[in-house]
Amino acid sequence: MAGTETILLYNFENSPKLRGLKIIFLKMGIRVRMVTPDMYLQTIGALAHIKGFEMTDQVYEGEAFSDEMMVMSGFSNARLDELLRQMRKNKIPRIHLKAIVTSHNASWTSLMLHGELNKEHEMMTRGPVMDAVVYKKEGEFALEQRKIPTIIHPLDAIVKVTLASICTSDLHIKHGAVPKAVPGIVVGHEMVGQIVQLGSGVKGLSVGDRVAVNVETFCGECYFCQKGFVNNCTDANGGWALGCRIDGGQAEYVRVPFAQNGLTKIPDPVTDEQAIFTGDLLSTGYWSAKISEIHKNDVVVVIGAGPTGICSMLCAGLYEPSQIIAIDRDESRLALVRDNQIAHVTINPSVSDPEQILREITDGRGADVVIEAAGGSDTFQMAWKIARPNAVVTVVALYEEDQVLPLPQMYGKNLTFKTGGVDACDCARILELIKEGKLDTTCLITHRFPLKDAMKAYELFENKEDHVMKVVLKP
């Protein structure tokens, strides 16, 4: 499928020859825009520099160059053939199509239509390639030049990435620990950007919208999507596909399938850095707090003060618990939690016993809710032990090994366990909360790199240098 088919026309109304085309365009549902001579020349001039741009003077061969010209964008070859067939059938006189912009150039043309030519000029003169972080093979990522993605399905959008994050899951891919990850793909599944091109079937979004990209792509129509369990969407592109099974967003551009489900408009006052974690980390934190059945004045413990744990604490705070208690072995992480007043109490289990402190805080009962976001060798056992009878224990951590559920030991404690991966479908609500100042994750961004230096950024993140929490990449 091609993108939105558009024809730019110059000197159209004055040409009896071209006027006959109008009916054909209407019949074929092609969008027509009139342009001023200046804009026309600007468009042609800019396109002429693009490597790979198909400039064709003799498409419908015959006559000499004239002032009656068109620029076409978003057309597949098949549609172009259909158009030419219609012209022959209707005996439209032969004309020159001065320039044919095939689908891979359509995003640029869309931008031109929106008067954003200059911003894109640098990219255009470089040709239709971009920088991207690529999963080469187990143990190897590389910064490479890739073709700029194009619309391949009517529900796609192309997003110009303005900020992308590096996630621990990216390291799991690098280390071969994500069996579904496909070597050769562009990685990155948490980013924000601006829509530059939309498939013809996408509703509720426009070119130029600033958007947060959802980690999960989902169809919105299958059994699981209908129930809000989008993580288990049964579509081939459903679930975590971006930056795992299909090209992701540690790049200058990303193609997002099911765009109207996977993209959420960022409210105006919210900055890229405020919005960056909406689609993955904050979705996970929001989901973990939502399913944990937190009541007002509960004591909520979050094990793990990494990015996921901190987002869980922030979202747990929305339910007005009496106390949020953070547990982690890393003092610098606990310090970050204290400095930003994210939890009321911090416990380092290397220094003091969480079970004992919890008993003291809760009159011997234990925590009302425990969210386990650490995934350490002993943290699952800690989670159920510090929970009070009838508590909810939510496991969002990803373990490297099987865990033991010692049912005889916990008999009579009547715990409820919840597990799994995020159903990331609350992005609009999350962005509202960010806008209202109720969620602020900017303290998680400890390091910023240009996309060009992505390999340096990975080195720092992977080696946990300089107390790194989150790294963002700016294309």
Where along the sequence are the contacts to Zn ion (CB under 5 A)? 167, 169, 218-219, 222, 225, 233, 280
Please state the closest distance from residue 205 (CB atom) to Zn ion, in A: 19
**Based on CB atoms, which residue is closest to Zn ion, 131 or 216?**
216
**Based on CB atoms, which residue is closest to Zn ion, 32 or 171?**
171
Please state the closest distance from residue 398 (CB atom) to Zn ion, in A: 10
39 three-state secondary structure: helix
Q: Do strands 6-10 and 299-303 pair parallel, antiparallel, or not at all (unpaired)? A: unpaired
C-alpha span between 252 and 107 (Å, rounded)? 13
Residue with the two structure tokens 């053939």: 81
**Based on CB atoms, which residue is closest to Zn ion, 238 or 354?**
238
Residue 58's identity, in one-letter code, is Q
Q: Where are the alpha helices (DSSP H) in 228-378?
A: 259-262, 272-275, 281-291, 307-316, 331-339, 354-361
| CB-count exposure of residue 93 (10 Å: 0-12, 13-18, 19+) | middle
Please state the closest distance from residue 170 (CB atom) to Zn ion, in A: 7
C-alpha span between 129 and 50 (Å, rounded)? 10
253 three-state secondary structure: strand
**Based on CB atoms, which residue is closest to Zn ion, 5 or 190?**
190
Please state the closest distance from residue 190 (CB atom) to Zn ion, in A: 6
C-alpha span between 454 and 448 (Å, rounded)? 10
Please state the closest distance from residue 239 (CB atom) to Zn ion, in A: 9
327 three-state secondary structure: strand
Contact 314, 285 (CB under 8 A): yes
Please state the closest distance from residue 232 (CB atom) to Zn ion, in A: 8
Please state the closest distance from residue 238 (CB atom) to Zn ion, in A: 5
Q: Do strands 299-303 and 367-372 pair parallel, antiparallel, or not at all (unpaired)? A: parallel
**Based on CB atoms, which residue is closest to Zn ion, 5 or 426?**
426
233: number of Cβ within 10 Å:
25
**Based on CB atoms, which residue is closest to Zn ion, 220 or 376?**
220
**Based on CB atoms, which residue is closest to Zn ion, 97 or 396?**
396
Q: Do strands 470-474 and 445-450 pair parallel, antiparallel, or not at all (unpaired)? A: parallel
**Based on CB atoms, which residue is closest to Zn ion, 134 or 276?**
276
Please state the closest distance from residue 329 (CB atom) to Zn ion, in A: 22
